[in-house]
Chain A
Amino acid sequence: MDVAAYLVNSTRGGLGNLAAYLAAHVLLCLLPAFYIAGAMTALIPKESVTRFLGRDTRRAVSYPAAALAGGLLAVCSCTIVPLFAGIYKKGAGIGPAITFLFFAPAANILALVYTGSVIGVDLALARLFLSLAFGIGIGLIMALLFRADDAAHDAATSQMFAAQSDKGMSRTALIFLLTWVALLLVGTLKLDIFTGSYIYVNLPLAGAQEFQALLDRLVPFDAVKGEEGVSLQGVLLILLLAAIGLASWRGFERIHDGFSAWTKAAIGLIGVTLLVAAVNMQATPAGLSVGFTGKFFGVLFALAVLFEIGRVYLTEDELRDWLWESWRFVKQIFPLLVVGVFLVGVIRVLIRPEWIESLAGSNTLLGNLTGVAFGVFMYFPTLVEVPIAQLFLSLGMHRGPLLAYLMADPELSLQSILILSAIIGKLKTWTYVVWVALFSTMAGLIYGAWVDGMSLGLVAIYLGLFLTLLALALGLVSQRNQQQDDKQAQTL
């Protein structure tokens, strides 16, 4: 094959992939998720969660609180490391701080929603539960291994957490946040009540079918290979998305100087786009058939509630902080995601499925280790790991190694390892890295076994056995340390 044809072919693959992604996954999934992430950052007072992370808090409270803080407060790696530094230096034990560090990138709202929508709800749930169990496990291990350092560190700073105010979250802000979550669920859950259409309207739009046929020729797709085409509705949504981008740039970038007409236009466009994404459009010979789905009415209702809360109950400061933080996430993550998705489309043309299949086609130890190693040495910006994972899946990777990769990639990259060692030191960092690699491999093996048909009970027993062994070992070491301390105290 000559080079020119090769280039054209791969560029077309990239663009096609990008168009399909923007149309199918971004709206109703990523768009609300970005606004939820913004609301979490802007409206939840960080002190209300971090005050549970102090040294004096019981372990049964501080570790779950650390995971909760990770899931709620830190949306992308850019916020995690500063917050981690803050929490650690302010006197949280290394254990809860590590739990926070582990859980945040693996199971924050953007990552989970995106994984669920692109790859499958089963993998998203596996990611959530295994991250929770292992995040706490690794936190406990680190706390135990570096007990002595921790005690010295804590003595200096432990009072600071006690001094924090217990300013809670306002109830309006909570309702606002929950309504966004409801909107997201209505938009993405594939239940009959939401996907079924109740009212049909036929628009006499001549040429709709010809246009759809043209689109199918431009972006040829093969459903078997996991590729997706672009529909007429998709084109409309991509255009609306571009309009939102423009209006947001003008309206949100300078939002601290006040709300402009652009701001209002951007908000209006977001509402319209979410509604358009929720209807069911089909090109027919007579024109365009538009079905108003249950989803449409659900989204409409949620938007009305959000609008009312925003207009009447939220203060101007809260609204501004929320819009700004959401916009900042979009600005920071979305361009990289677009580039990433494009490149995935290009690479898809180049990789041969046999390579992936021979390396990680079945749920073996080697396959899982390969997934983890790939995750560590490749650095992908936040969320780009998800389209990459889908690429592997469609090329024949087993779901077990895939989960191992998905667990390891956001946690570990050479870049984050370097930053981390500046904060907690080399020894602690590498210990953490080894444990994460080990746990990710375990997660892949266990989940893969379940996918291969092992009964849920057996999986639970294995997982339970593994965790019990770990807990026992930790308990023993901890007891021995305690006795040594007592002896030391006596001889002193």
Chain B
Amino acid sequence: MLTIKILGPGCANCKRLEEIARKAASDLNVTAEFTKVTDYNDILAYDLVSTPGLVINEKLVSSGRIPSPASVAAWIDEAMKTA
């Protein structure tokens, strides 16, 4: 079970990132709990300068851009192994 957080105030990029992350998780048959973090104070608790950010199991894996589905899948895979 993973916790995946999407950091961003609800812009188009954040929605696209969530879409990609959800698809990657379901493709890998991984159950994950998705949370959208939209409050600036909560977002900036993580070490990022610009949104959207992707956090898997409390680790910030990407920020400021939309990662490719392949790399999101790789991060999820890695998080499953270390978990």
The complex places the Cα of A324 from the Cα of B64 at a distance, in Å, of 13
Comparing A42-50, A119-127, A432-440, the segment that makes contact with chain B is A42-50
Total A-B pairs, Cβ < 8 A: 48
Question: Is A458 interfacial (CB-CB < 8 Å)?
Answer: no
A82 contacts which chain B residues (CB < 8 A)?
9, 11, 40, 50-51
The complex places the Cα of A181 from the Cα of B3 at a distance, in Å, of 43
Give the contacts of A8-51 with B (CB-CB under 8 A): 42, 46-47, 50
- Given that A47-B49, A83-B50 are known contacts, is A78 also in contact with B64, CB under 8 Å in the complex? no
Looking at the complex, which one of B16, B20, B41 makes contact with A89 (CB distance below 8 Å)? B41
Looking at the complex, which one of A42, A89, A320 makes contact with B44 (CB distance below 8 Å)? A89
- Check if A324 sits within 8 Å of B66, measured CB to CB: yes
B16 contacts which chain A residues (CB < 8 A)?
256
B9, closest chain A residue (CB) = A82
The complex places the Cα of A78 from the Cα of B9 at a distance, in Å, of 11
Q: Of A89, A256, A328, A331, which is in contact with the most chain B CB atoms at under 10 Å from its CB?
A: A256
The complex places the Cα of A316 from the Cα of B12 at a distance, in Å, of 22
Looking at the complex, which one of B47, B49, B64, B66 makes contact with A256 (CB distance below 8 Å)? B66
Looking at the complex, which one of A90, A320, A324, A332 makes contact with B49 (CB distance below 8 Å)? A90
- Check if A50 sits within 8 Å of B49, measured CB to CB: yes
A51, closest chain B residue (CB) = B49
- Given that A46-B64, A321-B65 are known contacts, is A89 also in contact with B50, CB under 8 Å in the complex? no
The complex places the Cα of A423 from the Cα of B40 at a distance, in Å, of 9
Question: Is B48 interfacial (CB-CB < 8 Å)?
Answer: yes
**Interface residue SS majority, chain B:** loop
B66 contacts which chain A residues (CB < 8 A)?
256, 321, 324
B69, closest chain A residue (CB) = A256
Size class of the contact patch on chain A: 20 to 34
Shortest C-beta distance, B47 to chain A (Å), equals 7
- Check if A320 sits within 8 Å of B50, measured CB to CB: no
Looking at the complex, which one of A42, A89, A316 makes contact with B40 (CB distance below 8 Å)? A89
How would residues 48 to 59 of chain B score, 1 for a CB under 8 Å from any chain A CB and 0 otherwise? 111100000000
A81, closest chain B residue (CB) = B9
**Interface residue SS majority, chain A:** helix
- Check if B40 sits within 8 Å of A328, measured CB to CB: no
- Check if A86 sits within 8 Å of B44, measured CB to CB: yes
Question: Is B68 interfacial (CB-CB < 8 Å)?
Answer: yes
- Check if B13 sits within 8 Å of A317, measured CB to CB: no
Size class of the contact patch on chain B: 10 to 19
The complex places the Cα of A160 from the Cα of B11 at a distance, in Å, of 25
A328 contacts which chain B residues (CB < 8 A)?
12-13
The complex places the Cα of A378 from the Cα of B70 at a distance, in Å, of 45
The complex places the Cα of A268 from the Cα of B37 at a distance, in Å, of 39
A83, closest chain B residue (CB) = B50
The complex places the Cα of A85 from the Cα of B20 at a distance, in Å, of 26
A328, closest chain B residue (CB) = B12
- Check if A46 sits within 8 Å of B50, measured CB to CB: yes
B64, closest chain A residue (CB) = A46
Question: Is A1 interfacial (CB-CB < 8 Å)?
Answer: no
Shortest C-beta distance, A49 to chain B (Å), equals 9
Question: Is A163 interfacial (CB-CB < 8 Å)?
Answer: yes
Give the contacts of A145-181 with B (CB-CB under 8 A): 160, 163-164
How would residues 74 to 95 of chain A score, 1 for a CB under 8 Å from any chain B CB and 0 otherwise? 0000110011011101100000
The complex places the Cα of A288 from the Cα of B11 at a distance, in Å, of 47
- Check if A257 sits within 8 Å of B44, measured CB to CB: no
The complex places the Cα of A257 from the Cα of B72 at a distance, in Å, of 12
A324 contacts which chain B residues (CB < 8 A)?
66
The complex places the Cα of A316 from the Cα of B69 at a distance, in Å, of 13
B41 contacts which chain A residues (CB < 8 A)?
89
B11, closest chain A residue (CB) = A78
Looking at the complex, which one of A46, A85, A164, A317 makes contact with B68 (CB distance below 8 Å)? A317
The complex places the Cα of A87 from the Cα of B68 at a distance, in Å, of 26
How would residues 301 to 321 of chain A score, 1 for a CB under 8 Å from any chain B CB and 0 otherwise? 000000000000000110011
Can you give 16 A-B contacts (C-beta < 8 A)? A46-B64, A47-B49, A78-B11, A82-B9, A82-B40, A83-B49, A85-B44, A86-B50, A86-B51, A89-B44, A160-B47, A163-B47, A320-B68, A321-B66, A328-B13, A331-B12
Closest 5 CB pairs of A and B: A89-B44, A46-B49, A85-B40, A86-B49, A46-B50
Q: Knowing that A46-B49, A328-B13, A423-B40 touch, tell me 9 more A-B residue pairs with CB under 8 angstroms.
A: A78-B11, A82-B51, A85-B44, A86-B44, A87-B49, A163-B47, A164-B49, A328-B12, A331-B12
Using CB atoms and an 8 Å cutoff, list the residues of chain A in contact with chain B.
42, 46-47, 50, 78-79, 82-83, 85-87, 89-90, 160, 163-164, 256-257, 316-317, 320-321, 324, 328, 331-332, 423
Using CB atoms and an 8 Å cutoff, list the residues of chain B in contact with chain A.
9, 11-13, 16, 20, 40-41, 44, 47-51, 64-66, 68-69
